[in-house]
Structure formats: C-alpha cells, structure tokens
Chains A and B, each alone.
Chain A
C-alpha cells in the first residue's frame, strides 16, 4: 500500500502541477498578493508606532534612577514640590553621591507653544528647568552642537528630537518664553530618550520667569544601586514632613506611555483585522478562481486515483505561498518606508509632544507575515475542501 513517501510525492507533484499553471492565473494571483501586502504593511506600520513609543520610553529610563512626585500626582504636570521638600528628598538614604552632595535634580516643567514643522500647527513643547545634577542623572546626555547654557542666564538647550520636530529651534534662534526671547545655545542628545523631545534651561532662571517662587514639580535622582530603591522609598514615605511618592524611572515612564501604547496598538489591531477580512475575501476569490480554472485537472487527477488529501494540501500550499509573498512584500515595504522614520504624537497624559521613531522590529515583521499566512490559510481552505469533497463523477461531468 501507498506509504507516507507516496503521499508526500503526490503532494509535491500536484503542487508542482498547480504552480506551473500560475502564469495562467496571473491577474487574480497578483491582486491577492498585493491585497495581503497592503494589509500587512498597514498593520506593521501602525504597530511599529506603538513599538517606537515603547522604545523611546525604554531609552528614557535608567534602572538606578528614581522619580519623586507629590503623592497623588500621576504626572510631573500635576505634581508640585516646595524647595524644602526637594532638600529633604535629596537627603534621603540610598542616593548616589559626589563632591557636591546627592545626585538629585529638582526640576520644574512648563509648556510653551511652537509650530510643528510637519503640519504648521501649534503644538505643546515641554520646557524643563533643571539643576546641575540633571546631567549626572541622565548619563547619556551629550551636547552635539553649540554649547551648554550658562547657569543663571536666559539661555536654553534643545533636544535633537524637538529641533527636528518644531520650527525655530536651530542653534542661534530664539524662543518665546514669558514675553521674552531666549536664545538657543546648544543642541543635545540623550540616548534616544524622552528628554530629546524637550528644551532645557536653568531651573533657577525658569522659576521667576513663570512666578513659581521656590517651587518645583519633581526630583529625579540616581540611586547607589537599583537595589537601594526600597530603602529610599520607605524613608520618604514614612517621613512626616513629606507628602510624596517615589517611583522607579522605568515604572514612571511605563505609566506615562501605557495609555498611548494601548490605544495605538488597539487601533492598529482593529484596522488590521478589518482589512484582514477584506484580504481573506480577496484570497478566497482568488483560490476559488484558481480551483475552478483547474477543475478539469483536479477532477482528472482524482479520477486517476490521486487522493483528495494531497489535492487539498496542494491548493493550500499555493494559497499559503501567495500569502507568504504578500506578507513578505508588505513587511519589507513597511520596514523600508517606516523603520526609523521620526514622528511625533501627543502624549495623552502630559499633553505635550512625544517625538519617537517608528520601530519596525523583527518580531513585528514576523507577526505581520504570520498574519498573512492566516489570511492565506483561510482563503485556501474553503476552496480546497470544496474541490476535494465533490464526488469524482460529478466533478468530471461539470467540465
């Protein structure tokens, strides 16, 4: 009796016969391939936005950094700390120290309006007042153009992301801050982190400009080691003079981006599923056409004694192959067009702009191609089963 080898060779030969007739079905096959490619391209691009945002948040966070806000505040925007608070926080146990004392930067944060280059519309851009420890807390900080601002002067430095995204942030230009014009004296990078989307200035200069007195919004500090977080946190929360909460920087950024990430992923998946249904009908149509145009051949093969199993599998193989072609095409297109493409979106919690790069990762490409295969599988299954189920005698009559 026929063994496994026989089955395999039947599948291989029927598939070969089918594929050789592909050129006769060019039109509908090409349509299916491009339909699937479109779905995969859109899905991968949309999900790469979410991936890119996650990547930016990840680049921003350092394992041994801690963010302190007023308890009850979920964002820097909502937080407020007075000068005394920040001093007590800097004295907390478990912080890394240098000659100047604990590495802790008390910071404040205002929003200014600038034009977005891409759309020419107003956008909220964060202007952050920092202390000297800020540059030690963010160890990937690096001036790449111009110079550092002078402490005590109305000078700002601009993150590369912000410079790329918004009008008027080139070296030598000025920005409007509280009815004054402050010069841009330097451009900095920060390891692809969120800071690159901001503008920085001396905190002591920013406070009077916005009549903030001696108040701040957050303290960002470096721990001796990631393990000393609990000790630091416990000391702060049990201190009766303070009413604050401490979070690891990674936790903080995660909470900031979770909503945005989930929204974009949700929308991306939704669009992909809707388009996926369309592509499934396209693939179904293609395969029904393919099967009916080969009805005579399929019926003849079965009359000659070929099993319906190999017939089904060979039709599926063709459908999956078309889907694979579409999936790879779409994924490569998305990768080629969007990987590293910089964009900005509104961070929904701080209502300021977050610049990020689309991140078309390998796992996203794989997911896109897998999705294409699912489309191809469903698109091939029904025509294949129908072709194989029809009684041989009636299949032969219909020719």
Chain B
C-alpha cells in the first residue's frame, strides 16, 4: 500500500494589510503555502517580516485581508469568530515564546485548561493532563507553580498544554527564543519527537539557524513572500 501525503494547510494568494491610523502596512502579499501532513516546517526571516502574522493566519488567530486559508480542507478564514475559537480549541496547539502560563495555576491545572473546552469529565481531564506532562518529562513537577519552574520547564508545560487536546497542528512562535542553548535543544528534541513519533504537523517560527536545522523544511519570509533561500 502506498501512502499518499495529504496537504494539511493550504494558503493561496494571501494578502495581509494592517492599518495603523491612516497608514497601511502591507505585510504579506500574494503569499502561497502548502504544508503537508506530518511536516516539521521552520519559518525564518528578518524581524518584522510577518512570520508571526503568517503563523496567526494558519492558527485562525487572525484573518487574511485577501486570499484563502484552508486547514484540513476547511476554509477557516470564512468561519465566524465563535466557530473559529471552537475550531482552534479542537485543532491547534499553540506554543508561545514567553510560555503564557497562568501564574496562579499549577502545572497540572495549566495543562488542563484547554480540556475545559471539551466534554471530558474532571477525572478524564486530570488523566490526560498527567499523560501530557509525562510526555514532556515533567511528571515530577505537576503541582509546581510557573514561578517555581525554570524557563525550559515552563516551556515544557506550555508544550504539554498545546498537545493535551491531541491537535493535528502545533504552532510555535520562537519557542526557544527565551531559553539558553541547552534548554532550547531539549525543547527542540521534544518537538522533533512529537513530529516523528506522533506525526504532529509543526510550524515553528525561529531566528536560530540551529533550531531551523531540526525541522524537515525551512522557508524564509521576506517582503511579504516565501522562498526557500535566505536573502542576502
């Protein structure tokens, strides 16, 4: 049996224009992108080139000014705000540069948060959160609060929170940007494992060429367009 590689994310002819007062900022122009299922894609490019903007469009956190964004065959740019929020909860795991954990919740409770949007029972939520924390290697830190964890550990909690709902798509915006080399490497290994062993499709924005090397493909964003080569 031959396995056909399916396209998970399909972006075509997307423009993104921000308005700041009377000024218009053209960030993305006529951008096309296909991301196959189970790919680990790294996005690079200069600061302000629109990497986060593109990631937000893929994750349904923002809408294109023009063009279409389809994920798993669904036109997410056409969903209402409410349905888009529900769609995000079901299909996307987000990992942030500064972790964005709830400071007053324990690691366990932070990881359980996205499960509050499901119909799972309290005990089932606990169980799944525990599994997610085990996957990221933090079983021994479940009752710790974010401020008592190191940056690397906090980011692991962030990843556990992103995978706890078992989403198809993991979107990471500079996940190692705030970490030292060693912790960053551990996080990258974790993402790699999630990609290779569990088949998660990952899009990772990074400024770090070493980090990008862990991905299966790297694209560069410049002047609103994607290319396979970094521009000089």
Show the binding face of A for B, using Cβ within 8 Å: 1-2, 5-6, 9-10, 13, 17, 20-21, 24, 296-297, 299-308, 391-393, 396-397, 399
Q: Is the CB of A304 within 8 A of B102?
A: no
Q: Is the CB of A392 within 8 A of B116?
A: no
Q: Which of A5, A9, A24, A396 has the most CB of B within 10 A?
A: A396
Q: Is the CB of A300 within 8 A of B96?
A: yes
Report if B85 contacts A (CB, 8 A). Answer: yes
Q: Is the CB of B86 within 8 A of A301?
A: no
Q: Is the CB of B119 within 8 A of A20?
A: no
Closest to B92 in A: A305
- How many Å from the CB of A314 to the closest CB on chain B? 12
List residues of chain B with CB within 8 A of the CB of A13: 113, 116
Report if B114 contacts A (CB, 8 A). Answer: yes
Q: Is the CB of A392 within 8 A of B96?
A: no
Closest to A13 in B: B116
How long is the Cα–Cα vector from A240 to B52 in the complex, in angstroms?
Answer: 99
Instruction: Decide yes or no: A396 and B117 within 8 Å by CB, A300-B96, A304-B88, A305-B89 being known contacts.
Output: no
List residues of chain B with CB within 8 A of the CB of A397: 52
How long is the Cα–Cα vector from A5 to B52 in the complex, in angstroms?
Answer: 34
Closest to A22 in B: B104
Instruction: Decide yes or no: A391 and B94 within 8 Å by CB, A305-B86, A307-B82 being known contacts.
Output: no
Q: Is the CB of B117 within 8 A of A393?
A: no
Q: Is the CB of B102 within 8 A of A6?
A: no
Q: Is the CB of B62 within 8 A of A305?
A: no
- How many Å from the CB of A318 to the closest CB on chain B? 13
Report if B56 contacts A (CB, 8 A). Answer: yes
- How many Å from the CB of A22 to the closest CB on chain B? 9
Q: Is the CB of A17 within 8 A of B102?
A: yes
Q: Which of B94, B96, B102, B104 has the most CB of A within 10 A?
A: B104
Closest to B62 in A: A393
- How many Å from the CB of B56 to the closest CB on chain A? 5
Q: Is the CB of A304 within 8 A of B89?
A: yes
Report if B138 contacts A (CB, 8 A). Answer: no
How long is the Cα–Cα vector from A399 to B56 in the complex, in angstroms?
Answer: 15
Q: Is the CB of A9 within 8 A of B116?
A: yes
Q: Which of A24, A300, A301, A305 has the most CB of B within 10 A?
A: A305
Instruction: Decide yes or no: A17 and B105 within 8 Å by CB, A300-B100, A305-B114 being known contacts.
Output: yes
Report if B98 contacts A (CB, 8 A). Answer: yes
Return 13 A-B CB contacts under 8 Å, by A number: A2-B86, A2-B117, A2-B119, A5-B119, A6-B119, A17-B104, A299-B100, A303-B94, A304-B114, A307-B85, A308-B81, A396-B96, A399-B100
How long is the Cα–Cα vector from A265 to B52 in the complex, in angstroms?
Answer: 60
How long is the Cα–Cα vector from A5 to B62 in the complex, in angstroms?
Answer: 28
How long is the Cα–Cα vector from A397 to B90 in the complex, in angstroms?
Answer: 23
List residues of chain B with CB within 8 A of the CB of A301: 113
List residues of chain A with CB within 8 A of the CB of B119: 2, 5-6
Q: Which of A296, A303, A304, A308 has the most CB of B within 10 A?
A: A304
Besides A20-B105, A392-B62, 18 other A-B contacts (C-beta < 8 A): A6-B119, A13-B113, A21-B103, A297-B100, A300-B96, A300-B102, A301-B113, A302-B85, A304-B94, A305-B89, A306-B117, A307-B85, A308-B81, A391-B62, A393-B53, A393-B61, A396-B61, A399-B98
List residues of chain A with CB within 8 A of the CB of B81: 308
Q: Is the CB of B104 within 8 A of A304?
A: no
